[in-house]
Chain A
Amino acid sequence: MKPFDYVRPATVTEAIAAAAQPGAVYLAAGTNLLDLMKGNISRPDRLVDVTHLGGLDGIERLADGGLRIGALVRNADLAHDADFARSYPAVAEALLSGASAQLRNAATVGGNLLQRTRCAYFYDTASRCNKRDAGSGCDARHGENRSHAVLGWSEHCIATHPSDFCVPLVALDAVVEIEGRNGRREIALEALHRLPGDAPERESALEPGDLIVAVRLPPVASGFAAHARYLKVRERTSYAFAMVSAAAALRIESGKIIEARLALGGVAAKPWRARGAEDVLRGVAPTADAFQEAGWRALTDAKPSGDNAFKIELARRIVVRALALAAAGTPARLPALPASPFASTTGAIHA
């Protein structure tokens, strides 16, 4: 392994100063970063360990009815917070469908947002990858790309963002609070991740030294609690990234959808908000036809980036199903196999 410095700042200000140096990166639980370092994909000079910073691990109900989640809250702790799961069931379901229990116990909110793509060519240092090595080329484009992007990709990069957590968050208009060299600012989560364009190495809107300190859910987000689901199709029952996933959240009154939220995972370099489909659903009855229509609308811009045309059809079907599940109502308890098509199977074992 490349030798590196390890610093453990006492305050956010110190952390930002330390991380703003070239070659420095933040270290949270390290479940992604350390793997990348061991595989020689990331070669940082300095790790700025943020896990000892105070005040970033709380889940705070805000006066306006919103919620503020500290960047260091562990994925498992958040998902198992009873209030949280009741108010934002699709988010809890997404969290619990990710990785494994061990990883969720360690992984942090901030780290989950900023986890890197799982593109095999990004991980394989013998391959060319524009993300890893800007301008070197993209070996995935004509390679084994069955699970790559079908939306928002470019010739320079066809990778997807792998987070489950981000998908319902982006549907619920989550906001990211950032501390940087120039103080605090916030941006919509939807604006955090960048599409590749001609600079896939630039993955987020963050500037050097920027530290995510919290994720905020606006007051309206809990208004979807009665009709919110996350659905994730994957190639084994648990412990696999999404082939395609969807978060669907509805507000239904008097048999009509007042407001719909829909986002897709595993299809693009960012969690993909499907606003067109949301528009289709506004004011209509929650019927199979309406969901079909939404499914078509959500994928109108999709195109295969390789051997992955099936993902477009799969995504449509997932949208339809996720909406139907949401319309049917959030289950009283999180299913034993969260977000799984087998969630309702009786006798399910753990995930």
Chain B
Amino acid sequence: MPELNLTSAPAHLRHGSNIGQPLTRRDGVLKVTGQATYAADNHPPGMLFAVMAVAGISRGRVVSLDVAAAKRHRGVVDVMTPDHKPPLAIDPEIKTSPFVFRMEVLQSHEVRYANQPIAVVIAETLEAATEGAVLLAPRYESLPALVGLDAGESFVPPAVGVGNPTENHRGDVEAGLASAEKQIDAVYETPPQYHNAMEPHAIVAHWDGDKLSVDMPTQGLRLSLARIAELFGIAHDKIHIRSPFLGGGFGSKGFLAGPQTLGIMAAKLVGRPVKLVLRREQMYGPVGHRAPTRQRLRIGADGEGRLTALDHHARTVSSTFDDFYEPAADASHTLYAAPAIRTSHDAVRVNTGTPLFMRAPGEATGSIALESAIDEMAWACGMDPLAFRLKNYAEREPISGKPFSSKALRACYEQGAARFGWAKRSLQPRQMRDDAGLLVGWGMGTATFPALMFQAEARAAIRRDGSGVMEIGAHDMGQGAWTALAQIAADAVGLDIDRVTFKSGTSDLPDAGIAGGSAHTATAGAAIHSAGAAVIAKLADLATNDGRSPLFGAGNAGVIARDGRLIRRDDESRSESYAEILARAGVAEVEARGTGVPNPAAMEEYAMHAHGAVFAEVKVDPELGQIRVSRMVGAFAAGRIVNPRMVQSQLFGGMIWGLSFALHEEAITDRRTGRIMNANLGEYHVPVNADVPPLDVVTVEEHDPHVNALGIKGVGEIGITGSAGAVANAVWHATGVRVRRFPIKIDDLLTQP
């Protein structure tokens, strides 16, 4: 099968007006009427329920489990333990690729973190399995837990994030700081946070001989499939995963999780389909989280408020048994034009589940520290925070010196500030009050997120009746892939969206890569676009080589695909419908594949990022310290907007997440035991409706010819960056109290009379 990729001068053009339309979610009605089946909604005949027993300690060994008591409980079918489990084909401790994380799947009695699975009870009912897990009454040999950012000897990890260098520098930071007229040196702390997707990790696993059928939410169908295949020693084509809908993932469903593997093992053990769904508190452990950080920023500026140096160091943690390092300091690479920049990381190991990518990993943690520090620096220079940012606007990416593929940040600043009314801000803090006497503060932050591309493949077909098919194993995490990708698919084959059957969400479809890094629409979209080009080219060949077609001989001139017809590019009066072409050729359908891949040459040449500017207003009770955000405006430039409605939702969601980062979210960890004490949504606070102010999102026009064929930059994560800092800075502006430990709490603001 020949593959066609995009070039800048395609032989055949495709016209459509699906991209850019604010369509509502095509799966919206299914969802609001409860007909969308999420993984846990599947109940194959004969299905049993599996419930994990999890560790109550965070370091040590399980020395006994009362399996007999659990088995005696009515309805319990079996208890899977390290001593009684189906074998795996490979040791799950082996990292077969950088995207393989170690998981606890009952391979030993060791406990490495609190809430680690230590057994699985399989029963006829959920209630019986739940009680069976209680009856196991584990006993432990416990060791002192390693907890917190000072838990032990720190070390410099070999890499942070996904293979990012641990340290970067450009210019002489110490000299820059020494020559600075104004300096700040400040330490910021961010807490551990958990993804807390609405839908807990779930799996329904069903073995049929050596064939395995799986319902589970995943942001990476093919990666999960490959991991299952290697763990269970079965061929890829024996596995079928369905993941049509995810109730959020945020990175925690990127990889096959330990508990999902346990579900497959349990099904194998009992020879019946098994469902395993995590309880909310069990999500605080084996499925990743955002590690805490302590970040020191040293910044220098000259007498005019121009940066002379920026030094950003981040301390983070990883688990005792695997490596993921929140690349927080990397946030300082791209935004501010300091002639000298240094970023560095170190880490300690603690008894925690391995941290993982969590919506804007590194960018979110780094951004709140950087934006706070920039705000502090602006104040030290006696400058308005926006003026200060403009003064230090980076025309080229500061850390690399590369030009940007596009950067409409100036327009974001302008439009955001105008909408917000920023010009009326007082420079001094604690100057503004509302009618009720509440302190009012205005703060801002710059948003940025890299424009990434992974690899994807899609299959397109045009059928005899003139309709189209587009197949890609993409992932809808709630962000709207079912809609946005179908829009791209429709334009890719020159049809109205309702004439294209868009198939997605299962592992037997072409590999769409991973839904992460804000790159899914760009990556899957590029593959779809390219598959569409390929199938149209084939169709065009059929027509232009056939003497009976009005398009005969148009080969070199090319055709335009529009509305189900091919039209001669140089003579629009000559056209033919897809159906006519296929009917005459006597074929049932034409099909072709296409890929979406990053362009290494462009990446070498350009720095590629989306940008934005966020402005926030908060109100603070002057005596009581309670905080409420009253207004937020975000202006973002993120390349081509495929579906403005969905993009707006993503940006809203990101901004709310940023607010949450600044004021609410924190996993409260017992410093003695390493247990998380608020592992539930009652006490792990995220904003509720009353915390979310009117939000105003502006998307700034931006054309980027370099990032990918469609010019898409991605909007899934950028909204958090900038927003968290904007809220934190607004709290300072309201109160005059600079809080450097997040989330900002009431007690932090009680210091003033």
Docked-complex contact B685 and A235, CB < 8 angstroms: yes
Cβ contact within 8 Å between B677 and A310:
no
Say yes or no for B688: interface residue by CB 8 A criterion.
yes
Most buried by A among B127, B435, B438, B689: B689
B675:A235 contact, CB within 8 angstroms: no
Q: Is the CB of A350 within 8 A of B438?
A: no
In B638-681, the 8 Å CB interface with A consists of 663-664, 668-673, 675, 677-678, 680
Question: A74 CB to closest chain B CB, in angstroms?
Answer: 20
Q: Apart from A240-B685, A314-B625, A341-B624, what 10 extra A-B contacts exist at CB < 8 Å?
A: A1-B131, A2-B134, A118-B683, A127-B675, A139-B670, A139-B673, A144-B670, A235-B664, A237-B690, A310-B750
Interchain CA distance A143-B670 in the complex, whole Å: 6
Would B675 and A3 count as touching, CB distance under 8 A?
Answer: no
The answer to whether the Cβ of A318 comes within 8 Å of any Cβ in the partner chain is yes
A345 touches B750 (CB 8 A): no
**Given A3-B131, A346-B435, A350-B690, A236 contacting B746 (CB threshold 8 A):** no
Cβ contact within 8 Å between A313 and B746: no
Residues of B within 8 A of A275 (CB): none
Taking the complex as formed, is A193 at the interface, i.e. its CB lies under 8 A from any CB of chain B?
Answer: no
0/1 per residue, A334-351, Cβ < 8 Å to B? 000100111011100111
Chain B residues whose CB sits within 8 angstroms of the CB of A63 once the complex forms? none
Q: Is the CB of B131 within 8 A of A314?
A: no
Q: Are A337 and B690 interface neighbours, CB within 8 A?
A: yes
State whether the Cβ of B66 lies closer than 8 Å to any Cβ in chain A: no
Would B621 and A341 count as touching, CB distance under 8 A?
Answer: yes
Q: Please report whether the interface of chain B is mostly helix, strand, loop or mixed according to DSSP.
A: loop
In the bound complex, what is the Cα–Cα distance between A40 and B669 (angstroms)? 21
| CA distance in complex: A257, B691 (Å) | 36
B614 CB to nearest A CB, Å: 20
A344 CA to B626 CA, complexed, in Å = 14
Q: A321 to B619: give the CA distance in the assembly, Å.
A: 17
The answer to whether B668 touches A144, judged by C-beta atoms less than 8 angstroms apart, is yes
Task: Let me know if B436 is at the binding interface, CB within 8 A.
Answer: yes
Q: How far is the CB of B57 from chain A (nearest CB, A)?
A: 7
Closest to A314 in B: B750
In the bound complex, what is the Cα–Cα distance between A235 and B666 (angstroms)?
12
Shortest C-beta distance, A344 to chain B (Å), equals: 4
Does A305 belong to the interface (CB within 8 Å)?
A: no
Which of chain B's residues has its CB closest to A309's CB?
B747
Question: What are the residues of chain A within 8 A of B750 when measuring CB–CB?
Answer: 310, 313-314, 317
B685→A233 contact, CB < 8 A: no
B678:A120 contact, CB within 8 angstroms: yes
B86 within 8 Å of A by Cβ? no
Offer 16 A-B interface pairs, CB within 8 angstroms, sorted by A.
A1-B127, A2-B134, A40-B134, A121-B677, A139-B670, A144-B668, A233-B625, A236-B663, A236-B687, A236-B691, A310-B747, A314-B625, A318-B624, A341-B621, A342-B621, A345-B434
How many whole Å from B681's CB to the nearest CB in chain A? Answer: 10
A residues in contact with B131, CB < 8 Å: 1-3
Residue of A nearest to B660 (CB): A236
Q: Is B623 an interface residue when CB atoms closer than 8 A count as contact?
A: yes
Closest residue to B666 on the A side, CB-wise? Answer: A235
Decide if A321 touches B623 in the complex (CB within 8 Å): yes
Q: At the interface, yes or no: B56 with Cβ under 8 Å from chain A?
A: yes
Min CB–CB distance A48 → chain B (angstroms): 20
Check: B170 CB closer than 8 A to any chain A CB: no
Question: Whole-angstrom distance between the alpha carbons of A233 and B673 in the complex?
Answer: 29
Question: Given contacts A40-B134, A310-B747, are A345 and B689 in contact (CB under 8 A)?
Answer: no
> Which residues of chain A (2-32) have a CB below 8 Å from chain B?
2-3
Q: Which residues of B contact A267 (CB under 8 A)?
A: none
The answer to whether the Cβ of A126 comes within 8 Å of any Cβ in the partner chain is yes
**Contact assessment for B626 and A341 in the assembled complex, using a CB-CB cutoff below 8 Å:** yes
Asked if A117 CB lies within 8 Å of chain B CBs, one says no
B689/A124 in contact, CB under 8 A: no
Nearest Cβ in chain A — how far from B347, in angstroms? 23
Is B289 among interface residues, defined by CB-CB distance under 8 A?
no
In the complex, how many residues of chain A place their beta carbon closer than 8 angstroms to a beta carbon of chain B? Answer: 44
B745 close to A (CB within 8 Å): yes
**Given A144-B671, A238-B691: A345 in contact with B619 (beta carbons within 8 A):** yes
* A127-B675, A350-B689, A351-B690 known; A235 vs B746 contact (CB < 8 Å): yes
- Which residues on A are within 8 Å of B, measured CB to CB? 1-3, 40, 100, 118, 120-121, 123-127, 139, 142-144, 146, 233-240, 243, 310, 313-314, 317-318, 320-321, 337, 340-342, 344-346, 349-351
Interchain nearest-CB distance for A128 vs B (Å):
10
Is there a chain A Cβ closer than 8 Å to B81's Cβ? Answer: no
Chain B residues positioned under 8 Å from A233 (CB to CB): 621, 624-626, 746
Known: A143-B670, A345-B438. Contact between A237 and B746, CB under 8 A?
no
Q: Which residue of A lies closest to B56 (CB)?
A: A126
List of A residues within 8 angstroms of B344 by Cβ: none
- A318 to chain B: which residues have CB within 8 Å? 624
Would you call B593 an interface residue if the criterion is a C-beta within 8 Å of the partner chain's C-beta atoms?
A: no
Decide: A345 near B436, CB < 8 A? Known: A3-B131, A238-B690.
yes
Contacts of A100 in B (CB 8 A): 688
Q: B134 and A342: CB pair below 8 A? A: no
Question: Nearest-CB distance from A251 to chain B (Å)?
Answer: 25
| Complex contact B688–A237 (CB within 8 A) | yes
Which of chain B's residues has its CB closest to A349's CB? Answer: B690
How far in angstroms is the closest Cβ of chain B from A201? 20
Give the residues in chain A near B680, CB-CB below 8 Å: 123
Please determine whether B436 and A144 come into contact, CB atoms closer than 8 angstroms: no
Of residues B669, B678, B747, which shows the largest number of chain A Cβ atoms within 10 Å of its Cβ? B747
By a CB distance below 8 angstroms, the chain A residues around B687 are 236
Most B CB contacts (10 A, CB to CB) among A237, A238, A318 go to A237
A328 to chain B, nearest CB (A): 12
B56 to chain A, nearest CB (A): 3
CA–CA, A346 and B438, complex, Å:
11
B116-150 contact mask (Cβ, 8 Å, vs A): 1 or 0: 00000000000100110010000000000000000
Q: How far is the CA of A318 from the CA of B134 in the complex (A)?
A: 43
Instruction: Give CA–CA (A243, B749) in the complex, Å.
Output: 14
What B residues does A313 contact at CB under 8 A? 750
- Give the CA-CA distance A233 to B670 in the complex, in Å: 24
Is the beta-carbon distance between A235 and B689 smaller than 8 angstroms?
A: no
Shortest distance between the CB of B244 and any CB in chain A (Å): 29
The distance from the CB of A42 to the nearest CB of chain B, in whole angstroms, is: 12
- Looking across the interface, which residue of chain B has its beta carbon closest to that of A238? B690
Partner of A342, one of B57, B628, B663, B670: B628
Which chain B residues border A317 with CB–CB below 8 Å? Answer: 623-624, 750
Tell me which of B127, B672, B675 contacts A124 (CB under 8 A): B675
Please indicate the chain B residues that have their CB under 8 angstroms from the CB of A142 in the complex.
672
Q: How far is the CB of A199 from the nearest CB of chain B, in Å? A: 24
